[in-house]
Amino acid sequence: MRSADATINKHKRELELCTYCPKLCRHSCPVSNATGRETHTPQAKMQLLNHLQQGSVEWTRETARPLFACLECKNCTTYCDHGNDVAGALAAGKAAASERGLQPIEYTQAVRDYRLRETRLRNALQRTAAASEMATRGRIAYLPGCDNIEFFPETISDAFSIFRRLDLRFVRMPSGITCGGHPLWAAGAWSAAHVETERLLEHLSGFSTLVMGCAPCTDLWRRRLEEHGISHQLDVIHTSEFFFTHLERLKPRSVRRAALFHDSCSLGRGLGVYDPPRRVASRCVEHLGEFFHHRDRSPCCGADPALDAAMPEVRAKQRTERLGEASRYGIDTVVTTCARCRRSLSRSAAGDQRNTVDLVDLTNLLAEALHTENR
């Protein structure tokens, strides 16, 4: 496994470029926009990491704290003329602080919660899935993701109804897995995440293709694990891409009048997957529209459990602005491809506006379109 300090060194040039930049991407960061704090701008966080790494600032819990004020959304990279990977550098910064035992309490709690919820998720999965839908080996493993298991179990039933419609009776959920491990990596607990990933790989060894319902885990398993020095032979695909490849066989019909499409950071800026989910959604609604900021400029939904606990104002602001825009356009359906976006945008916070927008996963929308056609 590549250490956090070695990963920071890989970003040395980017840290230098940011340190001397007049903050050209400052408007793009959802964290500094919500907190209004100069120390939370991408430039300030990168400059801080540069100084910490060079030893001109001492690593302490207090000095390291701004490194954790990052959602790893990559929006700043879109606006950077150098294409600097701020999210990657700050992820390594969080891990370096955690390796020194300097992580904020909310991040320690996030790692603890990952362990504690395992039983909860297994029980929820048993209630949702038939025993015949689980297996230790097969051609295709379907991993719905922890947020779908816990909060949106209907997405799992909908996915299997689409698999059956395609006569893909060999798709199974891998036994012993409820989460792809992204929350551990996002919390900066790289050692624990590495051990967990090795465990997951053992459970997945009997499969050749991994279809994932979680956008951050798709990005992790297709692209980022390799950056961490972890290799595997699995063909990793997101459910929206999978359904797109079978779209002509499915032939869905429009079941809703209009909807807006919300890009997830991981599927969009992370993997560059913009068109396949739109092509599927546009077959299920009469008019699929766009937010003013969309594709690589789409704002993050603010979903990060640890950051939400530390700075709830970030997610509240993202939710208010995103749903407020949909309401202004008179649109009552927003389609996402990520259960974490769906949960983040649908959970109200104190003082937040009432949610009148129906947030649906693309899997739900597609199943609805196929089900309606059947009647």
Contact positions vs ligand SF4 (CB under 6 A): 17-18, 21, 23-25, 28-31, 42-43, 45-46, 70-76, 80, 82, 84, 86-87, 90
Least Å from the CB of residue 80 to ligand SF4: 3
Cβ-based nearer residue to ligand SF4, 76 or 143: 76
Least Å from the CB of residue 98 to ligand SF4: 17
Q: Which two tokens stand for residue 372?
A: 């309606």
3-state SS string over 166-180?
A: CCCCCEEEECCCCCC
Cβ-based nearer residue to ligand SF4, 32 or 148: 32
Q: Which residues pair with 143 in a beta bridge?
A: 212
Distance (Å) of CA 48 to CA 68, 79, 80, 82: 12, 20, 18, 19
Least Å from the CB of residue 42 to ligand SF4: 4
Cβ-based nearer residue to ligand SF4, 42 or 144: 42
Residue whose C-alpha is closest to residue 318's, from 347, 277, 361, 290 = 347
Cβ-based nearer residue to ligand SF4, 82 or 137: 82
Cβ-based nearer residue to ligand SF4, 49 or 339: 49
Contacts of 203 (CB under 8 A, 6+ apart): 136, 174, 175, 176, 177
Q: How many residues does the chain have?
A: 375
Q: Which residues pair with 35 in a beta bridge?
A: none
Least Å from the CB of residue 26 to ligand SF4: 7
Cβ-based nearer residue to ligand SF4, 74 or 283: 74
Least Å from the CB of residue 38 to ligand SF4: 12
- Going by the DSSP 8-state scheme, the letter that residue 295 receives in this structure is G
Q: Which residues pair with 171 in a beta bridge?
A: 140
Distance, CA of 188 to CA of 98 (rounded, Å): 6
Cβ-based nearer residue to ligand SF4, 28 or 218: 28
Residue identified by tokens 């919820």 is 117
Q: Which two tokens stand for residue 110?
A: 């996030």
Least Å from the CB of residue 190 to ligand SF4: 18
Cβ-based nearer residue to ligand SF4, 70 or 288: 70
202 close to 171: Cβ distance less than 8 angstroms: no
Least Å from the CB of residue 102 to ligand SF4: 19
Least Å from the CB of residue 17 to ligand SF4: 5
Long-range CB contacts (< 8 A, 24+ apart) of 233-238? 233/208, 234/204, 234/207, 234/208, 234/209, 234/210, 235/208, 235/209, 235/210, 236/209, 236/210, 236/212, 237/209, 237/210, 237/211, 237/212, 238/211, 238/212, 238/213, 238/267, 238/271, 238/273, 238/337
